[in-house]
Structure 1
Amino acid sequence: MTINDQLTKLGIELSTAPGAKGSYLPTLVADSIVYVSGTLPLVGDAIQVTGIVGAEVTIEEAQAAARQCMINMFSRLATDLGGLERIAQWVKLTGFVASAPGFTAQPTVMNAASDLVVEVFGDRGRHTRSAVGVSALPLGTPVEIEAILRLEA
């Protein structure tokens, strides 16, 4: 089953990713390594849920945001790489979770992102990961995710 078949099976439709909104590259390919800048859970041009996880945002809402970050990242990669089949291995995800004082379930939030990558890419989706609590993120988003991947030689 191809990556696109798996996305279709999961009801995920990718869109053309927008360009960078600043002086940075959304993705950078260096040899066979792809670095993906922080990706937000935008739907269209809007963040659906804003706020701090453990205060205004529930774990379930944050997990949905983490999943949307990954769908947006898939779109970004499909646009920039010309397709997702070139990905040989997801190497690392780093998830930033806007967290209330004392909130320690950042890994639970990031499980939604990790699970989706593995569900779509199978063994190629198994990766290392960090889940970091921060006081605030751009546009009030509860989650931002960046990634490192390896391309087929």
Structure 2
Amino acid sequence: MSELIERRLLELGVELPPPAPTVANYLASVRIGQLIFLAGQLPFKDGRLMAMGILGRELGTEAGKLAAKWCAVNVLAEIRNTLGGFADLRRIVKIAVFVASTPDYTEQHLVANGASDFLVAALGERGEHARSTIGVASLPLNAPVEIEAIIEADRI
């Protein structure tokens, strides 16, 4: 399973980075039984935010979708770090997508598809998940998108 996911990622043109740095006082993940709660992941690529700004002002929906995809890449990097690979990953249970956007911007759900589409492409059925998408006034470091996730693992 782990090798299949790594192969799919390469086919998608993505090499997982090391886990993104935490930017404040929190744990990157907390495990409770078979559930693992991942802290919010920002769209880091090559060690820096790949986009900054507010959707509906500095950024459009397509840029937001790409940022959401890179948040999801960092979710997978944190999963790999937490589990020591993907062999014990049962599924992504839920993601919450926070989109920094203007009050009149209404395409947060389309931005979130950037993450959802990527997770399904990378993980197949294990990447299908429940989802919440929330528009917010701003996010840490002026990131346009932040994603937190709940995953289920096979072993305790």
* 1:93 positional shift: 0.5
**Same amino acid, percent of matched pairs:** 37
Alignment of 1:36-51 (within 5 A): 36-51=38-53
Give the alignment partner of residue 107 of structure 2, picking from 98, 105, 108.
105
Alignment of 1:51-130 (within 5 A): 51-130=53-132
List per-residue Cα deviations over 1:107-138 (Å, max 9, x = no partner). Answer: 00000100111111111111000000000000
CA distance in 2, matches of 1:89, 1:18: 21
Give the alignment partner of residue 6 of structure 2, picking from 4, 7, 16.
4
Unaligned 5+ residue runs, structure 1? none
The two structures have a TM-score, normalised by structure 1, of 0.94
* Segment of structure 1 superposing worse, 1-10 or 59-68: 1-10
The two structures have a TM-score, normalised by structure 2, of 0.93
Name the counterpart of 1:27: 29
* 1:96 positional shift: 0.2
Contact conserved, 2:20 with 2:44, CA < 8 A, in 1? Answer: no
Name the counterpart of 1:151: 153
Question: Secondary structure of the equivalent of 2:131?
Answer: strand
RMSD after superposition: 1.3
Question: Secondary structure of the equivalent of 1:5?
Answer: helix
CA distance in 2, matches of 1:87, 1:95: 21
List per-residue Cα deviations over 1:12-52 (Å, max 9, x = no partner). Answer: 10122144332211011110001000000012332122111
Q: Which amino acid aligns with 1:72?
A: N
Q: Which amino acid aligns with 1:122?
A: G
